[in-house]
Amino acid sequence: MNLEELKNKVYVAVLSDVLDQLGYTHQATRIPFHAYTGIPKLLGRCKTSLWADLYDVDPNPYELELQAVDSCQPGDVLICAAGGSTRSGIWGELLSTAARNSGCLGVIVHGGVRDIDKMRAMEFPVFATSRNPYDSQNRQRVVDLDVTVEIDGVKFRPGDLVMADEDGIVVVPQEVEEQVIAAAIQKVDAENVTRDAIKNGMKAWEAYQKFGVL
């Protein structure tokens, strides 16, 4: 099953449930992210960037962020771990265009974005925690690439599967990816059967006793 098929089959909450059952109990963010371009689901592999605030002139503005977008591979989701900073809008139209040209499927920004109408017209998936018209130059910059980063206590590692939707963001570690995907698909199918039984008049408790999902 490819990423697009998987995206249409599963969702953040069911992946989180399966990870919980396997003992991975802190793989989903609790802070609110907004789908600023109106595309409600995103699934791909983490391509990570770590950002820091600046309070002086940047001698090499944009250097590592351009390296990040240009080094994206097909199927990547670029993770911008900026600590939720509202100092600037670190992501916009030009970075989206460059990232897409490299095969990037979308971006998750723990911080501000801008050029929202233009990114919406591009139909480029953007999940972020704020919007901000200020340019990042001399305000924020990428300080490291392709390293483990943390957002809301959740570790995002390069190559891990990441999914975002209206419920939040979840990261599936590579070492349990196959197991999680198989169990999530099975759970979705069981939930569909349970929902249909309840719609047809079965009491919720009876449905839970019979099908074992909620």
Task: Report yes or no: 80 and 108 within 8 Å, Cβ to Cβ.
Answer: yes
Note whether 203 and 109 are same-domain residues: no
Banded model confidence at residue 2, pLDDT cuts 50, 70, 90: very high
Banded pLDDT at 203 (limits 50, 70, 90): low
Sequence-distant (6+) residues with CB within 8 A of 120 are 36, 37, 38
**Residues 131, 50 within the same domain:** yes
161 annotated as ligand-binding: no
Question: Residue 100 corresponds to which tokens in the numbers above?
Answer: 């897409």
Q: Is 122 in the same domain as 201?
A: no
Query: Do 123 and 140 sit in the same domain of this protein?
Result: yes
pLDDT bin (cut points 50, 70, 90) of residue 1 is: confident
202: left (phi over 0), alpha (psi -120 to 50) or beta: beta
The whole-angstrom separation of Cα 29 and Cα 129 is 12
92 annotated as belonging to a binding site for a ligand = yes
- The answer, yes or no, to whether residue 210 has pLDDT greater than 90, is no
Phi, psi dihedrals of residue 203, rounded to the nearest 5°:
-65, 150
CA distance 173 to 185: 17
Domain hosting 99: range is 3-171
What's residue 211's pLDDT? 58
Whole-angstrom distance, CA of residue 25 vs CA of residue 135? 37
Q: What are the beta bridge partners of residue 45?
A: 76, 161
118 and 184 in a common domain: no
Q: Quick one: pLDDT at residue 167?
A: 96
**pLDDT for position 147:** 98
Q: What does pTM read for this prediction? A: 0.91
Question: Tokens 């809008």 — which residue?
Answer: 89
Same domain, 123 and 187: no
- Residue pair 156/78 in contact (Cβ under 8 Å)? The answer is no
Same domain, 129 and 207: no
Q: What is the pLDDT of residues 38-86, one digit of tens each?
A: 999 999 999 999 999 999 999 999 999 999 999 999 999 999 999 999 9
Q: Do residues 163 and 185 lie in contact, with contact meaning Cβ atoms separated by under 8 Å?
A: no
Q: Which pair of structure tokens corresponds to residue 123?
A: 């139909």
For residue 120, say whether it is annotated as part of any ligand binding site: no
115 is in an annotated binding site: yes
What percent of the chain stands above pLDDT 90?
86
**Is 164 found in the same domain as 184?**
no
| Model pLDDT for residues 6-48, shown as the tens digit of each residue | 999 999 999 999 999 999 999 999 999 999 999 999 999 999 9
State yes or no: 100 annotated in a binding site.
no
* Closest of 115, 71, 67, 70 to residue 90, by C-alpha: 115
Q: Looking at the structure, do residues 206 and 167 belong to the same domain, yes or no?
A: no
How many domains does one find in the chain?
A: 2
The CATH number given to whatever domain includes residue 141 is: 3.50.30.40
Are 148 and 184 within one domain?
Answer: no
Same domain (yes/no): 61, 145:
yes
pLDDT of 110 reads 98
Same domain, 69 and 101: yes
